[in-house]
Structure 1
Amino acid sequence: MITLLHPWLLLLLPLPWLVWRFLPPHREEVVAIRTPFFRQLTEATGAAPQAGATVLHRNRVQMIAALLVWTMIVIGLAQPQRLGDPIVIEKSARDVVLALDISGSMDQRDFIGEKGQRVQRLVAVRDVLKTFITERDGDRMALIVFGTRAFVQAPFTEDLQSLEGFLDQTQVGMAGPNTAIGDAIGLAIRMFDSSEVEERLIVLLSDGADTNSRVSPVNAAEIAADKGVVIQTIGVGDPEGAGEDRVDLTALEDIATRTGGAFFYADDSSALSQVYDQIDAMAPRIVEETSYRPTFSLVWVASLLAALLGIATLVALLASRFRRQA
């Protein structure tokens, strides 16, 4: 599709006709010889006397060429352009932070794998989490790991493959042996400070009770709620365990409830997969679409045609003059 950036400039097309129609001809003074016997001279030569001022007239080829050149010039000024096919750009309308507990208790081998074998909690969680990340295509995601302290393992990114790579690098105990759920929530909230989207979600997974946070999980959840951050919590592990090995399901449910999120509990790989499926159904992919059509300027085409027409007309006139002189 071809359009004009400044179509109103086409109003200049009749300008040459208006000049020819309403403005007087151009006048120039030239040197002339005055003879006292002009009448006798014209009678002797048989020439008919004419007015001293003459208006030069162009032939049909010159007129057509001039009109075409002027038309190309005006079209060039109007800036013709070709519109390309629409290009749609999808931009994430939600930021998601995955907060993963990697405290010492995640080393327990009490999860049942796909083949019925017992696997490490963190390994089982990582395998299921990879599938969840893959299905979040279009969301910006970040990864926080926490134990005694909370750390940003991967900042917000739309490159989910790189996020999976950071997830593979996580190991039990690399953030300390204890559990700091409140600090992990606080760190996630600070990450949202640079976010420009309104939809903000934290998916927090833990297998223990908070024992080392400088900010209590309840207070952190209240701050998240004030900032419009929703927290979905997942409890894994043994709710009947002792000390830090006992997952605090009540606290995780309270955190989710305070922020308008949901709480889930999973005790094996299959249940964990179902949990992430439910989260995915509750928080489907949200994107903002921006579309535009690339433009390609065609001004050079009009300019080239005008130049070629002018040169061709000049060559034709010179050739005609040479033929007459010959």
Structure 2
Amino acid sequence: MMELANPWAFALLPLLWLVRWLPAYRRPLAALRLPFFDQLVEAAGSTKAGEQRRSPLSRLLQLTIWVLIVVALARPEKLSEPIVWQSAARDLILAVDISGSMDERDLVDSEDQPRQRLAAVKDVIRDFVADREGERLALIVFGTRAYVQAPLTEDLDTLTALLDQTEVGMAGPHTALGDAMGLAIRQFEASEVEQRLLVLLSDGADTGSRMSPINAANIAAQRDVHVVTIAIGDPDGSGENRVDTDTLKAIADTTDGAFFTAADQQALAAVYQRIDELAPRKVATHSYREHRSLSHWPLALAGLLALLMLTLDRRSHAPATPPQPASARPEEDAA
């Protein structure tokens, strides 16, 4: 496929004729009249001043060269076939609680065997991340403090490896729920996509956050961040081991998200499937065509024609070869 990047350049085509009508181009010049000018011109092998006009071929070459220059200015380009690719129009952050209570072994797997809470969460998140191909994810872990374990990235293998390296208590024994949300909101500041989703998983109540969870939820709502909260643990427990379901529900309601509870590993896996149904992944389609300039071809042809025109002009104005004197007679040479 061909197209012109600057088609307006063709408006310059009449310029060649307009220049000939400019006063500066057609102004008379001072001349010296000679009564024997015709004989002088004939002896020089040239043409008369009033007859120094280009041949029809030279004028045709001049016109062709100008048209080729204008075509080059119009920048003809060859377009490749469309290159189409898709990218996710959603950024997703996983905020995982790794406080001391995540060491409890009360989550049951498919074989009815009790498992550590964090170990069961890792298995489910690992499968969830594997299905996010082409999507940007980030991982935040929090305990007494919140930390970015992996920033927003499409390198899901690295994110999974960093998830496997997390251990209970790495961020402290307590649960800074509000700080984790605030850190996630700051990560979304670099995001330009429309859909921003935070999946917040916790098994305890907020203790000592510098930013309260409800305040963080209001800020998230103002910045179009939807929060899905997942409660793991016993809501009837005591102290920091008690899941604060009321706060998690309030966070989800404020941000137009959703709230889930996970009593075992199978229920946790079902929660992540439910998340895909509530917030399906949006895909942005992009298209690109490679533009290959062809301007050098008309320019090269114009240069060749210009050389040809100069050669023809030189030949047409070259002085005639003067007649050679007749050779002397042999008799005269002998004399």
User: Fold conserved (TM > 0.5)?
Assistant: yes
What CA RMSD, in Å, does the superposition of the two structures yield over aligned residues? Answer: 3.5
Corresponding residue for residue 12 of structure 1 = 12
Q: Aligned to 2:130, which of 128, 134, 137? A: 134
Question: For structure 2, which runs of at least 5 residues remain unmatched after alignment?
Answer: 40-46, 323-335
Q: Aligned to 1:82, which of 75, 78, 81? A: 78
SS in 2 for 1:155: strand
Corresponding residue for residue 229 of structure 2 = 233
Change (3 A) 1:22 1:271: same
Corresponding residue for residue 173 of structure 1 = 169
Contact (CA 8 Å) 2:89, 2:284: kept in 1 or not?
A: yes
Change (3 A) 1:63 1:95: same
1:166-197 Cα offsets, whole Å, 9 max, x none, are 22221111011222222222322333344444
Q: 2-side partners of 1:250 and 1:181: how far apart?
A: 13
- Structure 1 residue 325: Cα displacement: 6.2
Contact (CA 8 Å) 2:235, 2:242: kept in 1 or not?
A: yes
* Structure 1 residue 282 corresponds to structure 2 residue 283: no
Comparing 14-23 with 236-245, greater Cα deviation is found at: 14-23
Equivalent runs, 1:1-326 vs 2, <5 Å: 1-17=1-17, 33-34=34-35, 54-88=50-84, 93-114=89-110, 117-315=113-311
Comparing 278-287 with 89-98, greater Cα deviation is found at: 89-98
What amino acid is the match of 2:271? Answer: V
Q: 1-side partners of 2:106 and 2:203: how far apart?
A: 12
SS in 1 for 2:292: strand
Q: 2-side partners of 1:19 and 1:55: how far apart?
A: 21
SS in 1 for 2:72: helix
1:251-305 Cα offsets, whole Å, 9 max, x none, are 3223212322111112222221111011111111224445443422222111111
- Structure 1 residue 57: Cα displacement: 3.8
Q: 2-side partners of 1:266 and 1:281: how far apart?
A: 17
Structure 1 length-normalised TM: 0.79
Contact (CA 8 Å) 1:138, 1:287: kept in 2 or not?
A: no
Change (3 A) 1:189 1:53: closer
Change (3 A) 1:61 1:325: farther
Comparing 248-257 with 94-103, greater Cα deviation is found at: 248-257
Comparing 98-107 with 210-219, greater Cα deviation is found at: 210-219
Q: 1-side partners of 2:57 and 2:97: how far apart?
A: 86
SS in 1 for 2:50: coil
- Structure 1 residue 81: Cα displacement: 2.2
What amino acid is the match of 1:250? Answer: D
What amino acid is the match of 1:34? Answer: P
- Structure 1 residue 107: Cα displacement: 1.9
Q: Identity over the aligned pairs, expressed in percent?
A: 50
Change (3 A) 1:117 1:298: same
- Structure 1 residue 234: Cα displacement: 0.7
Contact (CA 8 Å) 1:183, 1:215: kept in 2 or not?
A: yes
SS in 2 for 1:278: helix
Q: 1-side partners of 2:303 and 2:137: how far apart?
A: 56
Question: For structure 1, which runs of at least 5 residues remain unmatched after alignment?
Answer: 42-50
